[in-house]
């Protein structure tokens, strides 16, 4: 079993048995959500689009109607995306065609730079005939919104005692979410903290659950410009006892956004098993971003917003997004003609 991890600059493949880490992909965006089904893998990017990867096919890019998309999950023949900037859930089909936006309330924008009245919906997961959507909610208590499937109608909300929540797992410990603000795992219905990191201040974000273990992302409370460069990590908890059995430090990878299991069922995803073979079409790295990553791994002094290296790396990342944006503009122009 391996862990597939998204960070601002990289997709990483981590062996939890020994912590060995390799970069699977870099150079085309600010990575966040990951989902897969039947050999196809879908990624979300802050560039506003999804990427679909399949064996022996060019990567497919959707229309860029998303704003700061976060988590994504393949549900039946649809791909559901937390379209965070639009404060809604967006639906695509298995081929990347946009189907519809589903607004859960009257708020149409996540105004995080102003009054912060939006919900900052960031996580989505299907369990049975219901879809669970996590609302970060900024300085208000985080919530879990419950939708019917396939109607996607709101059937309930659960106010939690968590702050800045991400991820959700419905299992033997209840309705579990990451209380990211307080470095905890939180059971939303009872309002109880079921696990808390001894390291503080620290963020819990990114969650995957195997038959025996819980894998949780470890990030620090960093200013936004520092989130690319600092150390990340993974806590491994015993699923039955919630005791930490291992902590993997990932030097210089930046914040941990998402974790998916490779080669094992994941209770936080769906019943499809993501394989190493499925990941083969994703292999691509940016030489600039790779060089800077090796510097950060070797020299801790580079694990900060460091002029001019940080600006060069960010430029390489943005260039990848611009290439996709330009291809969208060409496509739109051809369609008008």
Q: What is the pLDDT along the chain (337 residues), one digit of tens a residue?
A: 999 999 999 999 999 999 999 999 999 888 999 999 999 999 998 878 999 999 988 889 998 899 999 999 999 999 999 999 999 999 999 999 999 999 999 999 998 777 778 999 999 999 999 999 999 999 999 999 999 999 999 999 999 999 999 999 999 999 999 999 999 999 999 999 999 999 989 999 999 999 999 999 999 988 888 899 999 999 999 999 999 999 999 999 999 999 999 999 999 998 789 999 999 999 999 999 999 999 999 999 999 998 888 999 989 888 877 777 666 554 444 434 4
The span from the CA of 31 to the CA of 46, in Å, is: 7
- HSE value, Cβ hemisphere, 13 Å, CA-based, for 144: 28
Question: pTM of the prediction?
Answer: 0.94
Cβ contact 20:42 at 8 Å: no
Q: Is 87 exposed, middle or buried (0-12, 13-18, 19+ CB in 10 A)?
A: buried
Question: Strands 184-187 and 174-179: what pairing?
Answer: antiparallel
| Domains assigned to the chain | 2-336 (2.120.10.30)
The span from the CA of 93 to the CA of 99, in Å, is: 7
DSSP for 1-40 reads -EEEEE-SSEEEEE-TTT--EEEEEESS--EEEEEEETTE
Cβ contact 185:193 at 8 Å: yes
């Amino acid at each position: 079993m391996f862990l597939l991890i998204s960070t601002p600059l990289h997709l990483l493949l981590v062996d939890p048995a020994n912590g060995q880490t390799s970069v699977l992909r870099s150079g085309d965006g600010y990575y966040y959500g990951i989902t897969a089904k039947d050999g196809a893998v879908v990624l979300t990017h802050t560039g506003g689009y999804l990427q679909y990867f399949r064996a022996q096919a060019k990567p497919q890019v959707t229309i860029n109607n998303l704003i700061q998309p976060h988590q994504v999950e393949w549900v039946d023949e649809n791909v559901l995306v937390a379209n965070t900037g639009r404060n809604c859930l967006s639906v695509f089909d298995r081929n990347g065609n946009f189907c519809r936006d589903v607004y859960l309330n009257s708020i149409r924008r996540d105004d995080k730079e102003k009054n912060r009245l939006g919900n900052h919906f960031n996580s989505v997961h299907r369990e049975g005939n219901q879809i669970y959507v996590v609302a970060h909610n900024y300085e208000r208590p985080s919530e879990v919104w419950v939708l019917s499937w396939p109607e996607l109608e709101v059937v309930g909300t659960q106010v939690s005692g968590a702050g800045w929540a991400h991820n959700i797992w419905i299992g033997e410990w209840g309705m579990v979410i990451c209380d990211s603000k307080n470095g905890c795992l939180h059971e939303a219905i009872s309002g109880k903290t079921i696990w808390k990191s001894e390291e503080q201040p620290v963020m819990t974000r990114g969650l995957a659950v195997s038959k025996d273990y819980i894998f949780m992302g470890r990030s620090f409370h960093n200013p936004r410009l520092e989130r690319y460069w600092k150390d990340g990590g993974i806590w491994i908890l015993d699923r039955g006892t919630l005791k930490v059995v291992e902590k993997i430090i990932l030097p210089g990878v930046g914040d941990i956004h998402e974790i998916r299991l490779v080669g094992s069922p994941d209770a936080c995803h769906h019943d499809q098993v993501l394989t190493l073979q499925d990941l083969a079409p994703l292999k691509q790295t940016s030489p600039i971003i790779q060089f800077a990553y090796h510097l950060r791994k070797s020299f801790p002094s580079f694990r900060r917003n460091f002029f001019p290296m940080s600006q060069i790396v960010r430029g390489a990342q943005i260039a990848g997004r611009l290439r996709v944006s330009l291809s969208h503009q060409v496509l739109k122009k051809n369609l008008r003609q």
